[in-house]
Amino acid sequence: MVAPAQTLAVYNVPAKLLDQFRGCDVIVRSASPQELVDRLKSVENVRVRFLQFSATTEDTSCLESCGTGIPLDIVLHDPASQYQQLYSYSNLLDTHPIRITIPVVPGFSKAVKLAISLQFAVKLDVQQPDEALLRELESVLEFYLHRSVVNQSIEFFHSLLFSFYRNEPASLWEITEKDPALVRYVSAAGDEALKQAEERIECHGCEFLDRCRSYFKYPDANYNCDGIKRVFRSLANAAAEVKHDLETYTATEVVAQS
């Protein structure tokens, strides 16, 4: 059984083990909204970053009056078949910020577009997409960058776009909340996953290493990153266009006021 250490990390813990993490920053997860409510009421002295539960047909109204203001992360496991369940979570927006975590699997774009239309933020759970999934991922990126209806963030796009705009390095491991130095995942058995991200030798010299940090070389180190580089390049180009437009607008305003 894991013993929480003095660390700045956040522990992603199953609800049934919450009482072992008193005094810690936690992400509390469960397949049952009611279990989340019951555990929050019974355990004190924990700092809850957000509550996480799998998309479910179970009644979620119990969350409306519990933990008001605590963000909710709703995880879809099969977005192509579960996306219509998103409608049932709209009532929770009155009391909680909501993010939908969506795996990048065939048909995931339907869930992304519906989540955005319902005013939910989105986090893409992406691993090593094949060419068909890359095309779908690029269509979602196009939607994020150019559709005026998008007024919520879609991660990892959002953080990387700002990273390119500010010309600052970033970490895709951190953005996706998979950096074990920051988020410690605790299994149902109480075991803590401590696998560290390591840079791959073949990534040295890649123009996007200071942001990807070999993220797309796991689990298969032989994965071809050419398609992912297209995605990164599109984000870099979009950031450059935004910066140019803002600089042009600012220069025009200065001339107009002089």
pLDDT, tens digit (0-9, with 9 covering 90-100), for 155-187: 999 999 999 999 999 999 999 999 988 999 999
Domains held by the chain: number: 1
One-letter amino acid at 240 equals A
Tell me how far apart the alpha carbons of residues 87 and 116 are, in angstroms, rounded to a whole number.
Answer: 11
Q: Is residue 208 part of a domain?
A: yes
Q: What is the pTM of this model?
A: 0.90
**Residue among 53, 148, 64, 63 at smallest CA distance from 99:** 53
Q: How far is CA 162 from CA 149, 155, 156, 173, in A?
A: 19, 11, 11, 16
pLDDT surpassing 80 at residue 12: yes
115 lies in some domain: yes
Residue 129 tokens, joined: 């997409």
Is 149 within a domain?
A: yes
Look at residue 1 and tell me if it is in a domain: no
Instruction: Report yes or no on 178 lying in a domain.
Output: yes
Residue 24 lies in a domain: yes
Q: What is the mean pLDDT of residues 56-84?
A: 94
Residue 2 lies in a domain: no
Instruction: Determine the average pLDDT of the residues in 206-231.
Output: 95
Residue 3 lies in a domain: no
In this structure, is the dihedral angle defined by the CA atoms of residues 147, 151, 156 and 159, taken in order, positive or negative? positive
Report yes or no: 118 and 102 within 8 Å, Cβ to Cβ. no
Domain span at residue 232? 10-257
pLDDT at residue 79 in the model: 97
